[in-house]
Amino acid sequence: METEEIRRLIALEDAHWWYRERRAILRRELRGLGRPGVALDIGAAGGGNTRVLAEAGWDATATDMDESALEMARQRGVPAVRADARALPFESGSVDLVTAFDVLEHIREDHLVTEEIARVLAPGGHVLIAVPCDMALWSSHDDAVGHVRRYRRESLRGVVEKAGLAVDRVWSWNVLLRPVVKWHRRRSTGSDLSEVPALLNAGLSAVIRAERYLPVRSLRGVSLFLRARLRQQP
């Protein structure tokens, strides 16, 4: 992602319906992981998700390739390290949790990223991944933010399992708004990262929160989430 897109994301993420609900998803997932330990947030940009990890008691570090994003993260009190996700500067088996939200789709060699995640995880450690799904939704937005692919459930599961990780579950997100997103992106000419009027933001927030209570996770959405773990050694 270009530096300007990262700056725009950081400016928007605290209030934007999309990022607020994803942080809520992360909080819910963390509650099921047991005692907090060492966490690594890959492709963290300004550290919005890293702050959620820290608030939940994790010893969390943000990583990104963009130095200006890392500086903005540090200004927000987030420990941050410049790192290529394909060659993480962390010891093998040293991390209890890795988060990688909107990372894999930016990297052509996505298998190198999942292999590095598996390498740095301690036995029994977990990874939470979020990616855009379905090439049928490809649009100028994907070009603008530097995507190289969108995923199917099978392709996401495959690259994670090939790295030696055991997938606990894969689920869809932003299902209810998929028709709206598809319509909008067919007519757009660039990135979706823009400020949303307050009333519209509230309405979209209400719709996306409804997915917490509806049986829609097996349907096609705009994004996929995956939770996996490194198997305990016998």
Tens place of pLDDT for every residue, the chain, 234 residues? 556 667 777 777 888 999 999 999 999 999 999 899 999 999 998 899 999 999 999 999 999 998 888 988 898 899 999 999 999 999 999 999 999 999 999 999 999 999 999 999 999 999 999 999 999 999 888 888 889 999 999 999 999 999 999 999 999 999 999 999 888 888 777 677 677 899 999 999 999 999 999 999 999 999 999 999 998 765
pLDDT of residue 3: 65
Reported as type and span, the H/E element at residue 114 is helix 110-120
166 phi, psi to nearest 5 deg: -95, 120
Distance of alpha carbon 147 from alpha carbon 164, whole angstroms: 25
- The H-assigned helical ranges of the chain are 3-12, 17-31, 48-55, 67-75, 110-120, 140-144, 153-162, 178-187, 198-210
Question: Which 3 state secondary structure label does DSSP give 150?
Answer: coil
Tell me how far the alpha carbon of residue 213 is from its chain's centroid: 21
Nearest to 52 by CA among 37, 30, 73, 34: 30
CATH number for 81: 3.40.50.150
Number of domains observed in the structure of the chain: 1
Confidence (pLDDT) at 45:
86
Question: Which structural domain range is residue 75 located in?
Answer: 3-230
CA distance 170 to 94: 25
C-alpha distance from residue 86 to each of 36, 64, 75, 115 (Å): 25, 11, 26, 8
Which residue has 């209810």 as its token pair? 176
Angle, vertex CA 51, rays to CA 47 and CA 53, nearest 5: 115
Beta carbons of 225 and 175 less than 8 angstroms apart: no
